[in-house]
Amino acid sequence: MHVISALAPVFMLVAVGYLLLRWKFADDAFFHVAAKFAYWIGLPSLLFKNIAEASLSLSDAGRVFAVMAAASILTALVSAPVARALGLSATRGRTFIHTSFHCNTAFVGLPVMLYSLTAYPDSDKLIEMASMALAPMIPVFNIMSVIVMRGAVDTAKKGLLVIILKKVVTNPQVLSCLAGLAVAFCGFRLPLALSRSVGSLGSMALPLALMSIGAGLNLRNVRDGLGAACLAAFFNVVMLPLIGFGLCRFGGLTSGETLVSLIFLTCPTASSAYIYARQMKGDPSFAGNVILISTLMSAPALWAVLYFGL
């Protein structure tokens, strides 16, 4: 029952966002601003506060980060020959690989952690560990995404390294993680007024982000490349956490570290995959279908992770 209570708020907020747009209670402009706020202000505030006030160090989350990074790389390597075997076009093939490993750790993973780990011993430390693991993982996702999608970019005019650096240094989540690490490293304590203000902004991020994800789900064009989209979603929601679980066992991670790793790795494809597909000449329609299907598939997958992990 606790597992259902933990997951229900996440997917109910996704459903609320979907229904609010379809019932025209809110329009695209509202959700565009809501997603923008969550991306640029809300989530960075949450990450900054969690990291700045954490009792753990970055090294305490090192094994969780290592598993997440290794599992993502291995999944990308496995999905590449599958994309070729399916005979996908170059643009759809790159998008297939990208959507197979880029999971929504921030906008789905963190809410699931906050709602589900309250019944777990040392839940506060696990949530701190999750935030610490995200600090290096976010730029890794950015770097991998650019490398996978680079084929459509005129690298003669704009070098790959420049593109990667721009994606990393302009990512507000990366900057907020670095700022939080700097505060924690220097031993500063956030003033109570600042801590509460930043915390309030951060608490707004998760419901707005989840509702924005729901508003972005599109059922109309789901039949386009349905088989390949389902396979990419399978890689993202099933294959990725299975590889991660094997790495957790191989690396001797604790039950808490394993649970944090698997929650993150079982999250659906990140919404930013659609943005990458648009900006780097991938297949945005296909990316949208994978996001939709993986979101639906992630509900039972996350339930299984929490049921056996808790």
What are the structural domain ranges in the chain?
2-309
Average pLDDT over residues 42-68: 86
Q: What does the pLDDT read at residue 99?
A: 96
Q: What does the pLDDT read at residue 155?
A: 47
pLDDT 10s digits, 147-163: 888 754 444 455 667 77
Nearest residue to 5 (alpha-carbon basis) of 161, 124, 116: 116
User: How many other C-beta atoms lie within 10 A of the C-beta of residue 74?
Assistant: 17
- Going by pLDDT thresholds of 50, 70 and 90, the confidence category of residue 298 is very high
- Going by pLDDT thresholds of 50, 70 and 90, the confidence category of residue 194 is very high
What are 92's two structure tokens? 């759809």
**Inter-residue long-range contacts of 179-183, CB under 8 Å, 24+ positions, other chains counted:** 179/48, 179/52, 180/47, 180/48, 180/49, 180/50, 180/51, 180/52, 180/54, 180/131, 180/135, 181/51, 181/58, 181/135, 183/48, 183/51, 183/52
Q: pTM of the predicted model, to two decimals?
A: 0.85
Q: What does the pLDDT read at residue 2?
A: 60
Q: Decide: 276 and 99 in contact? Cβ < 8 Å.
A: no
Average pLDDT over residues 219-228: 77
Q: What does the pLDDT read at residue 117?
A: 81
Q: What does the pLDDT read at residue 16?
A: 93
| Residue 157 DSSP class | T
- What CATH topology corresponds to 2-309? Na+/H+ antiporter like fold (1.20.1530)
Is 80 exceeded by the pLDDT of residue 5?
A: no
Least confident of 59-63, 149-153, 170-174: 149-153
Q: What does the pLDDT read at residue 122?
A: 79
Q: How far apart are CA 61 and CA 290, in angstroms?
A: 29
Mapped onto helix, strand or coil, the DSSP state of residue 103 is: strand
Q: How far apart are CA 271 and CA 126, in angstroms?
A: 25
Q: How far apart are CA 93 and CA 83, in angstroms?
A: 5
Is 80 exceeded by the pLDDT of residue 220?
A: no
Q: What does the pLDDT read at residue 221?
A: 67
Dihedral of CA 125/138/144/285: which sign?
A: positive
Average pLDDT over residues 224-251: 94
Q: What does the pLDDT read at residue 160?
A: 64
CA 169, distance to chain mean position in Å, is: 18
Is 70 exceeded by the pLDDT of residue 140?
A: yes
Surface-to-core class of residue 242, CB atoms within 10 Å of its CB (0-12 exposed, 13-18 middle, 19+ buried): middle
Q: What does the pLDDT read at residue 253?
A: 94
Helix ranges, 53-122 (H)? 62-85, 90-101, 110-116
Average pLDDT over residues 110-138: 84
